[in-house]
Amino acid sequence: MRLTQGKPYPLGATLDSDGVNFALFSAYASAVYLCLFDETEAEIARFRLERQTQQIWHGHVSELKAGCRYGYRVDGPYQPLIGHRFNVNKLLLDPYARQLSGPIIDHKSHYGYQFGHELEDLSFCELDNAAEMPKCVVVDLEGLAPIAPLMNPGEQRESPLSLRRGVIYELHVKGFSQQNPEVPEENRGRFAGLGDPASIGYLNHLGITAVELLPVQQFVSEAFLQQKGLTNYWGYNSIGFFAPHHGYLSSTAAAGGQHGLAGINEFRDMVSALHRAGIEVILDVVYNHSAEGNRLGPTYSFKGIDNLSYYRLHPSEPRYYINDTGCGNTLNLSHPRVLQLVMDSLRYWVEVMGVDGFRFDLATTLGREEHGFDVGSGFFDAIGQDPVLSQVRLIAEPWDIGPGGYQLGQFPIGWSEWNDRYRDTVRRFWRGDAGMLPEFATRFHGSSDLFEHAGRKPAASINFITSHDGFTLMDLVSYRHKHNQANGEQNRDGHNENYSHNYGHEGQSDEVELKSLRARQCRNMLTTLFMSQGVPMLLAGDEVGHSQHGNNNAYCQDNPSSWLDWRKDIASDELLSFTMNLIKLRRRFPMLCHRDYIHESANFASPGLDWFCRQGEPMTKAHWGEAQTRTLSLVISGELEAQAGCRQALLLMFNADDRPQQFTLPSLEGIVQWQCLLSTQDSSQDGKATNRQGLLQGASLVLQDRSLMIYYAQFTSAPQATGESR
């Protein structure tokens, strides 16, 4: 092996015909050492990178092949009081590493300071951590075939043409397949398990068009969790922005394989299999902070390479990290090299790994400049001008815990956002809270008050009732209070206000009437989700009544309480059948996912949306102001796609009251008869209407307490309705 000067670009380890080029950014280092290891992880060579170009240290080592293992040691001042934490005793991960040789396990040698020292992080640790640190693996990306694109429309099933017509399914890679007996045991809980025909067949059967995967980039379990025998199950603690998480690789892939590509190919094979089935892959990514924590956290990579550049530090006290994320540190995306790292990572997952988009964790942090959140920040501008990234799915979690951190509705055109106001409103409406009609109608309408002012469309609103963070749907109707004792934090963690209800008994129950009510409330909220304007997101397991036993913060529960339970007969599950029917109905009626906001009453020129009180009269300001009213109807109409000049309408009647209520069907010109499509009152089959006679307009019927019904009609003349819209 021979070291030559190499090139400063591209960053990371790049294989060529003569060896490997290494390039690492550090603005304040005094020396950078490249350490090479064999397959037993014994160090076989160490080179000092002598060349530096625009703060990038670089060198080329001849004779190296794919599969070679490496890491860096970076020397410089250890002066936490002014922001520097260099420690040459620490082997560091390359921020651009495509694969790691193993998991990261907490060890005292990973810390730059001495444990127990009275000076804390102002002390200096001379322990060498090379034996405890996994190594970066050089991979050969040349010659990788492009990922199979999504299937063409008309093949087997409709390909998702746009996000507005899609159904997102949020799932955990391990939790989804870990207990599925139809998946080969060695693949359960892995990328290969999600790509297995049994998994994909289930997703197709359900009607999913996109999976949103909880973090799959290399992450670490925090030390305090490892000390309690727990793990960071969700994965929001990233350290390798290019590397697929080692724990989700099969044993063969984890070993690296030929050219170091086994892990990369296992992920790519999963994406290809999902694409062949017409399912997009959206990654939940964490670029707001890293796994290195606060000033007392470990030194894995950025902290030892260039702490002052990679992190936002308090201007007056650079020893301390700005913590807009609540996770100990905040990455400094205002620095051009850190922004470059994130952009290169995103582009890699699209162009090499084949994914279709991203959900950005704590996305407000990514848009922070010196003065606070800015919709014109460098990050948003970089995404918007990028010819690759501007074309993929971009979904923001629109908040963090920093000043002015709640930014729902403020992200750029082209972005969608998790809409927690939709979540809370739907929960409160069906719980029976007073005064919810105006807010409920606004959220059902696609939250135009939040998005339309900036020229954004209903697809900007990602509607959800539950997500990984909080109660599952079944727990939402079974618990009034969180039960997080298993997390080892004395039940102090997790949200305190969940807008949940137990309907008289805390927790699971075998009481028939109680189970029936809870199941009905699940159907009510699912129906609301799939009938609303905007994009529905379903939490994996909600369609089969998955429970976490009241834990609303199961981030560290890597066990059957979090894993989807395939041991019961999911194929015959009534709630599953009901959910499948809802997804089919959404696909059947395009006006449920209209491109633009609907503000007009029904007419032939455009889709219409009209609100009615339960007496069948158009809503007035007085009706909207009735705080104790928990009933509402609406008619949404649009043209039949297959028959010009003929229109179709859906009538939805909501009864969130705890008593049965009589509804009168509205009288609309051109509609003679309404046919029942779905009722959440039914506790069997899938809610489909069977042997129900049609109802003439103006007819009356009684809706059971806490229930919802959907009726359908066709007409050839424009119905007329007047009233106060939302």
Q: Is the pLDDT of residue 572 over 60?
A: no
- Kindly report the length of the chain: 726
pLDDT band at residue 725, thresholds of 50, 70 and 90? low
| Type of residue found at 412 | P
Measure Cα distances from 713 to 91, 158, 437, 647, 655 in Å: 69, 25, 25, 9, 21
Query: Which residue, chain included where needed, has tokens 């089969």?
Result: 544
Most confident of 44-48, 100-104, 565-569: 44-48
Residue 645 is predicted with a pLDDT of 63
Query: Which residue, chain included where needed, has tokens 């918007």?
Result: 384
Which residues touch 601 (CB under 8 Å, ≥6 apart)? 608, 609, 610, 719, 720, 721, 722, 725
Catalytic residue among 94, 397, 400, 558: 397
Which of 346, 240, 300, 306 is closest to 57 using CA atoms?
306
Q: Is the pLDDT of residue 155 over 50?
A: no
Give the integer Cα–Cα distance in Å for 164 and 592.
9
Beta-sheet strands, E only, within 76-173: 78-79, 84-85, 136-137, 168-171
List the single range of 86-95, 522-531, 558-567, 686-695 with lowest mean pLDDT.
686-695
pLDDT band at residue 672, thresholds of 50, 70 and 90? confident
pLDDT band at residue 189, thresholds of 50, 70 and 90? very high
Whether 361 sits among the annotated catalytic residues: the reply is yes
The whole-chain average pLDDT of the chain stands at 92
Please confirm whether the linkage preceding 10 is cis (ω < 30° from 0).
yes
Catalytic residue among 94, 361, 400, 475: 361
Whether 542 sits among the annotated catalytic residues: the reply is no
* Token reading at 221: 């379990």
List the single range of 265-269, 342-346, 646-650 with lowest mean pLDDT.
646-650
Share of the chain above pLDDT 70, in %: 92
Most confident of 83-92, 140-149, 242-251: 83-92
Across residues 696-705, what is the average pLDDT? 91
Cβ atoms 92, 131 nearer than 8 A: no
Element (H, E) at 678: strand 673-679
Q: φ, ψ for residue 121 (rounded to 5)? A: -75, -5
Residue 490: alpha-carbon gap to chain centroid? 28
Q: 461-463 and 416-419: which strand pairing? A: parallel
Give the integer Cα–Cα distance in Å for 237 and 232.
8
List the single range of 182-191, 235-244, 638-647 with lowest mean pLDDT.
638-647
Q: Is the pLDDT of residue 154 over 70?
A: no
